[in-house]
Amino acid sequence: MKNILLFWAITLLATLASCKRDGDVAPDGDVAPSGCFTTTITYTVSKADGRVVFDQTEQRFAVVYSVPGTFDSQYIGIVCSLPDNLQQVGLEVKFSGNYRSYTGSAKPGIGGQKYYYLDLTEITPK
């Protein structure tokens, strides 16, 4: 009897340990991409100018930020949580937040682009 109980306890623990969440829950209750709030912060912006786009690979909204002082560097921030009223392709925004290491499958379209997760702390339309 003890062996059977031990077997089921180990099976249960192994099952729970192998479960993987699809994403983190954003403050607004939306399910964010996996790693959106847990990967390393690589860059922080404050009151930056950006443009809302929809990324076909991720099937999520993103904010494109052109890095000042460069002519082709862009950060594509897959947004962890974007308010419904700002989910408009082409919308110019002013935003602050943390860029985090990206672990998804989207690839840059041009050489100067880099993908990140974008954990917004503030965003408003321009």
Residue 59 lies in a domain: yes
Domain count within the chain: 1
Q: What is the distance in angstroms between the CA of the first residue and the CA of the last residue of the chain?
A: 68
What integer pLDDT is reported at residue 39 of this predicted model? 87
User: Is the Cβ–Cβ distance between 63 and 117 less than 8 Å?
Assistant: no
What integer pLDDT is reported at residue 32 of this predicted model? 73
> Among positive and negative, which fits the CA dihedral 80, 61, 117, 51?
negative
Residue 38 lies in a domain: yes
User: Domain residues for 106?
Assistant: 22-125
Residue 105 lies in a domain: yes
Helix (H, G, I), strand (E, B) or coil at 53: strand
Residue 2 lies in a domain: no
What integer pLDDT is reported at residue 9 of this predicted model? 45
**What CATH number is attached to the domain comprising 86?**
2.40.50
What integer pLDDT is reported at residue 60 of this predicted model? 93
Residue 8 lies in a domain: no
Residue 99 lies in a domain: yes
What integer pLDDT is reported at residue 36 of this predicted model? 84
| The model scores a pTM over 0.85 | no
Q: What is the mean pLDDT of each run of 10 residues along the chain (126 residues)?
A: 48 37 47 79 95 94 94 93 94 97 91 94 96
Please report the beta strands in the chain, taking only residues with DSSP state E, as ranges in sequence order: 41-55, 60-66, 74-79, 92-100, 113-125
Residue 26 lies in a domain: yes
Residue 102 lies in a domain: yes
